[in-house]
Amino acid sequence: MTLRRVVAGAALILLSAAPAIAQGFGYGGKAGMNLFTVSFEQDDSIAVSAKPAIVAGGFITLGLGSRLSVEVDGYYSERKFRFAEGDIVDTLSYIELPMLARFRIVTKEGWNVAAVGGAAVSFLQKAKETISGTAYDIKDAVSSTETSGVIGAQVQVGRRLVFDVRYLLGFTDVYAAEDFPAKSRGFQITGGYRFK
């Protein structure tokens, strides 16, 4: 088989798949709430609780079949942790990029449910620590990027409304100090509107 035939065959396959890909393309916006905490690997006596924080942004989806699709999100995402001792709250602000596979598991008239899973990369924008009402910049003490595993579910109502519940489990340390290992984990709850 000549190179010309291989290239022609590949082009034919791509051209024939293009309408299906275009048909499965969608985009929209989402907003909601983060409930995150951190766990300290070397000192589990540090008590940390989650405080509600905002998450908002957009998403694009690409259908790969009747049930399978991929979704890429772009969020502004805040995470707030309250430390029990000393009335301390850390607020970390990220640009978050989840990349997910979505598999529809239930389809009923007017709505469907999908399982989602994948990974997220988060890029630190701001970090502050509030102690008894006074805020301090702690960006230098926080890791500039974080990676997380993502698992959850999505409900779509009609053609436009989407609701997500996700659990994110941090793979990398939140804080920059090597002798202070801590991983984030928490829930992300959003509602959104699909424009296409």
Q: Is 0.75 topped by the overall pTM? A: yes
At residue 13 the predicted structure's pLDDT band, cuts being 50, 70 and 90, is very low
Burial (CB < 10 A; 0-12, 13-18, 19+), residue 158, is: exposed
What is the amino acid identity at position 60? I
pLDDT of residue 5: 59
Round to whole Å and give the CA distance between 164 and 75.
14
At residue 12 the predicted structure's pLDDT band, cuts being 50, 70 and 90, is low
Q: How many residues does the chain have?
A: 196
Q: Identify the CA nearest to 124 among candidates 184, 190, 179, 77.
A: 77
pLDDT of residue 84: 83
For the chain, list the domains and their CATH numbers: 24-194 (2.40.160.20)
> Which tens digits make up the pLDDT trace of 39-78?
988 777 788 999 999 999 999 999 998 899 999 999 999 9
Instruction: Supply the mean pLDDT for the chain.
Output: 89
At residue 8 the predicted structure's pLDDT band, cuts being 50, 70 and 90, is low
State yes or no: pLDDT of 196 exceeds 70. yes
The residue-averaged pLDDT of 100-123 equals 96
State yes or no: pLDDT of 22 exceeds 90. no
The residue-averaged pLDDT of 7-11 equals 50
> Which tens digits make up the pLDDT trace of 147-182?
999 999 999 999 999 999 999 999 999 999 888 899
Which of 108-139 are b and which e, b meaning 16 or more Cβ less than 10 Å from the residue's Cβ? eeeeeebebebebebebeebebeeeeeeeebe
